[in-house]
Structure 1
Amino acid sequence: MISFLRGTVAHVGLSTAVIDLNGAGMSVFATPQTLGHLKLGEEAKLFTSLIVREDSLTLFGFADDDEREVFDVLLSVSGVGPRLALAVLAVHEPEAIRVAAHTGDSKTFTKVPGIGPKVAGRIVLELAGKLVPHGTGAAPTPALSAETVWKPQVVAAMTSLGWSEKDATGSIDKALADSPGLAEDGNVAQILRATLRWLGQDGARAGNRVGSRG
């Protein structure tokens, strides 16, 4: 594993840099922030993560070890590849990502191009307990609640079926008022089925009311 590179900056592009290691040029992908601190002809050190694929070996470079650690943990989320993990770091500082993951703030991740509510919900679900804010001396962050984990996923499923986010959220709350135990369990599939069943029953009730007026 290549843990870091130290050498002369030979090239800086929009998404990559080339570090000259005694005559060998190593190309690395990095965030705009990291690339912005590199100066042509000057020595630089980048912490790196090597991604191995069947047909390629790709290096990703980071300004510090904390940034690399967050990148590696993001890769543990199903459906999140290195380019998307790097995009998250391009939008948010490592500590902001730690706080969002720790508190279940899925909206932070939807600010990243290519990440919708469904993927954001999966990120906070799978990162729960894996990223903890450093925050030395800071006030403690609130614990991750069950609702902040499952609700974005259910809302995303319903919006994909044609409901607006507002209608989906309202329907979920009303359906769970009839079955509060489902919220405690946090089973996304069961909550989605209960909400759709409630919508069907509500539609039937509305039809009955119209029929009685007729």
Structure 2
Amino acid sequence: MATLLHIDSSAFPSEASSSRAVTDAFRKTWQEQHPDGTVIYRDLAANPVPHITADAHTAGFADPAAHTPEQAAAFAARVKLIEEVEQADAVLIGAPMYNLTIPSTLKAWLDNVILFGRTAGEAPSAQGTPVTVVASRGGSYAPGTPKEGYEYVQNYLQAVLVDMLALDLDLIVPELTMAPHNPAMAELVPLFEASRDRALEDAAAKAKLLTTRLPA
């Protein structure tokens, strides 16, 4: 049976979140394709994981037999998150842009999951696992736009998810999500609606496509 690890990080509930709407569409299609599969869900806004601590960090490079009680407890929490990635057949991440980058809750999750010698390094333990990222943003940072140089979400996640964890990254990018709420962006609402509809369609299509690559 296939296992999907679904991570949401939007601070907003589903009815007010563009990224959650798209990850929900992906997950719904996934579950239709894998009715007997497993979904491991983490809502990092509702239940944030701990930010990396000195004990959690140093424990990753020390002999477990030499761990202090504090290191052992902190590392056990990291290992649980790491094992969820390693056991997943596919990963789905909602990563809205906040102040030009990802939410701090998602950064905390990544800091816990990245462990050199296990998930990162010469032989990453989840290498090749497909990961679909919904990188929503209030404006547009596409090539050729005035804000192109401020795009730090896709660049960062490419470096972390692909270059470090060796996952197989696919991006869905709903843009201009602030257009319906900002009067100054009113003329961009049709472009927002087109981007939203395309993202929802892409989510369903990508979830179906993974069916051909993964166990039923």
TM-score range (shorter-chain normalised) is: under 0.3
The structure where helix makes up a greater share of residues is 1
TM-score (normalised: structure 2): 0.22
The structure where strand makes up a greater share of residues is 1
TM-score (normalised: structure 1): 0.22
Q: Specify which structure has the bigger relative contact order, considering alpha-carbon pairs within 8 angstroms and separated by 6 or more residues.
A: 2
